[in-house]
Amino acid sequence: MDSAQFKHQVLSLSDKLFRLAKSILRNNDAAQDAVQELSLKLWEKRNQLDEVENLPAFAMRSMRNLCLDTIRQNRDKDEIPSEIIYDEPNPYQRTESNDMAARVKNMIEHLPELQRTIIRMRDVEGLEISEIAYITNLTGNAVTVNLSRARQKIREQIMNEHKRVEERIWRT
C-alpha cells in the first residue's frame, strides 16, 4: 500500500476511529492520541494491509484494542475512569445539558464500555452486526444481546426522565 492509498483508505477513517476512541476513553485528547498512535502503527504495517479483507473493520478493531490497553495501563494511575454508573442528573447537570439529546448522549456515556461501544458502532456508525462481532471479538448473538440491553437501558432512562418531568410539572 503506497502513501496515496494509505491516505485514502486509512486516514479517511480518522473521524470514525476518533469517535470510537472517544466513546471508550471518554476523553478528547486521549482519543486523539490513540488515533494518531494507531495511524502510525498502521503506516508501519502498510505493506501487510493489502491482505486485510475489511480494512475499516480491521482498523476499528485495532482501535478498540488499543483503547482497552490504554485503559488497562492507566487503571492503576486512575487517569481514565473505568466505568461510571448513571445517576439522575443534579441541578447543575440539568442546566448544563438542557436539551434532551445531550442528556441521551450522557446516558450512552454512562453505559458499560462494551454496550456503549456496540450501540455507537451500530446506531452512530451504522455497522453490520457481523462487523461489530469482528471488532469486539464476540459472536453475532452476543453483539445483538448487548445492543438490545444498551437500547433498552436508554429507553428506560428516557421514559423515567419524562416521567420525572411530568411529575414535577403536576406538582407545581
Partner 1 sequence: MADMNELLEKYFKGETSLQEENLLKMYFRSGKVKVEHEIFISMFDAFEEESQVVMPAPKRKVIDLKQPKLKRIGWQSISISGIAATVLLAFWFFRTEPVDADYAVIHGKRINNAAYAQQMAIAKMEKVNGILVKTMKPMQNIQKIKNSLEPINKISDVRIDLENIQDKLNFK
Residues 94 and 85: their CA atoms lie apart, in Å, by 17
- Least distance to partner 1 from the beta carbon of 76, Å? 23
Among 4, 85, 101, 169, binds partner 1 (CB under 8 A): 101
CA 107 to mean position of chain CA atoms: 13
From 25-33, 41-49, 55-63, 67-75, span contacting partner 1 (CB under 8 A): 25-33
Cell numbers of 141, please? Answer: 448473538
Residue 167 engages partner 1 in binding (rule: CB under 8 A) = no
Name which of 60, 63, 31, 24 is nearest 134 in CA terms: 60
Q: Applying CB under 8 A, what is the total number of residues that bind partner 1?
A: 40
64, 13, 55, 82: CA torsion to nearest 10: 0
Binding positions for partner 1, 145-164, rule CB under 8 A: 145-148, 151-152, 154-155, 158-159, 162
Nearest to partner 1 of 84, 159 (CB atom) = 159
CB–CB of 67/34 below 8 Å?
Answer: yes
- Give the CA radius of gyration of the chain: 18
List residues binding partner 1 (CB under 8 A): 14-15, 17-19, 22, 28-29, 31-33, 35-36, 99-105, 108, 120, 122-126, 128, 144-148, 151-152, 154-155, 158-159, 162
